[in-house]
Amino acid sequence: MDKVKVGIIGCGKISNIYFKTMREIYSNILDVVACADLDLARANAKATEYPGVKAMTVKKLLADPAIKIVVNLTIPKAHYKVAMQALKAGKNVYSEKPLTVTRAQGRKLLALAKEKNLRVGNAPDTFMGGGIQTCRKLIDDGVIGEPVAVTAFMMCRGHESWHPDPEFYYQVGGGPMFDMGPYYLTALVNLLGPVKRVTGSARISFPTRTITSAKKNGTVMTVEVPTHVAGIMDFANGTVGAIIMSFDVWAHTLPCIQIYGSKASLEVPDPNGFGGVVKIRKAGEKEWNEVKLTHEADINRGTGVADMAYSILRPERPHRANGELAFHVLDIMHAFHDASAKGKHMIVKSTCERPPAVPSGLGLGELDK
């Protein structure tokens, strides 16, 4: 099978795992040939670290006719600009989350991709890992019965104590809902389907934050976005969900995700990873029992890029971490903030299909039978 050539724009911290996964696990389908960054020194450093990759300016990378997929690993505020540049250059584009900062940007992005017959992919792709795909199979096979309710919790104290450049986490496009919400909401849409209505409450708990990580220790940041968001979701299939995303909590003992069905309760592993422990407790049982994973868990970020590459070579095949899914998640996240600001339920106007399940029993690097 032909390989699809890939160029990476944005050579920050997250790029390391993309380089590693795409070059090692999916080298049968992906050929990472170029990288670019506004800081050319960072691009040069990655090119030195990964032989065969050439450092380029963004303009030169986008002009290279051999590159078919641009992997956009810039900060959230730049996602839209870079993705639009890639599409206008005739490239398929796969971006880090969120898809864009605003709904209007997301709509324009998807419209241009449709017009030019190009694909938009978007992180997270963690829902394609063994942990969540095992849960998907349990639900699809009817093991937990009819899903009735779901809870989801991601609460921590924020990123300023460890991240070298944490400012963007507290700017527009950041915050716990837009930073971590995509992992949780994408997993939930994969497991339960689209959301039709939400409400919620949100607050900026502390108007400023002080960076304590070494690089910028003592720098005071202004917080632009809610740092604690509590929401309620009505799924189209009737499931009722509760979610809390917070950068204001020192510690807690709540699960990441639990789904409560008519026959059993299901504990879903951390959607920020590809593996994890799956537990189930069926009606009448007194203990939770661990479920052996039915899918490959030893994969990582970049899986969604490989999945999109297969679909570029086989146009009839949908790719799983697609733009419609990412836009629906973006729409839901905005709806939580809107509901809090307006004090009412918000109808989620977008929808999407559940992405195709990953078949069980595949080997490392395989995405289809």
Residues 262-307 have pLDDT tens digits of: 999 999 999 999 999 999 999 999 999 999 999 999 999 999 999 9
The helix/strand count (H/E) of the chain reads as: 10, 17
Tokens of 191: 């497991």
Residue 365 has pLDDT above 90, yes or no: yes
Average pLDDT for residues 116-145, to the nearest whole number? 98
Q: Is there a single domain that holds both residue 217 and residue 235?
A: yes
How many Å apart are CA 183 and CA 131, to the nearest integer? Answer: 13
Q: Report pLDDT for 344.
A: 97
Q: Is there a single domain that holds both residue 278 and residue 135?
A: yes
Average pLDDT for residues 53-61, to the nearest whole number? 98
Q: Is residue 350 part of a domain?
A: no
Tokens of 190: 């994969």
Number of domain units in the chain: 2
Q: Is there a single domain that holds both residue 140 and residue 17?
A: no
Which ranges constitute the DSSP H helices of the chain? Answer: 15-24, 40-49, 58-63, 76-88, 103-116, 130-140, 175-179, 181-192, 303-313, 323-342
Residues 108-121 have pLDDT tens digits of: 999 999 999 999 99
Q: Is there a single domain that holds both residue 201 and residue 252?
A: yes
C-alpha R_g of the chain: 20
Residues 257-267 have pLDDT tens digits of: 999 999 999 99
Domain encompassing residue 93: 4-122
Average pLDDT for residues 10-23, to the nearest whole number? 96
Q: How far is CA 243 from CA 64, 97, 252, in A?
A: 43, 19, 14
Q: Is there a single domain that holds both residue 268 and residue 237?
A: yes
Residue 248 has pLDDT above 70, yes or no: yes
Across the chain, mean pLDDT equals 97
Q: Is there a single domain that holds both residue 239 and residue 177?
A: yes
Sheet containing 30-36: give its strands across: 54-56, 30-36, 4-9, 69-72, 92-95, 120-122
Residue 228 has pLDDT above 90, yes or no: yes
For residue 36, give the CATH number of its domain. 3.40.50.720
Q: Is there a single domain that holds both residue 25 and residue 156?
A: no
Q: Report pLDDT for 216.
A: 95
Question: Residue 335: helix, strand or coil by DSSP?
Answer: helix
Peptide bond into 98 cis (omega under 30): yes
Phi-psi region of 218 (alpha: psi -120 to 50; beta: other; left: phi over 0): left
CB contact at 8 A, 335 and 103: no
Average pLDDT for residues 136-165, to the nearest whole number? 97
Residue 1 has pLDDT above 90, yes or no: no
Domain end call among 65, 100, 122: 122
Q: Is residue 349 part of a domain?
A: no
Residue 68 has pLDDT above 70, yes or no: yes
The amino acid at 341: A
Q: Report pLDDT for 14.
A: 94
How many Å apart are CA 33 and CA 344, to the nearest integer? Answer: 49
Share of the chain above pLDDT 70, in %: 100
Q: How long is the chain?
A: 369
Q: Is there a single domain that holds both residue 66 and residue 178?
A: no
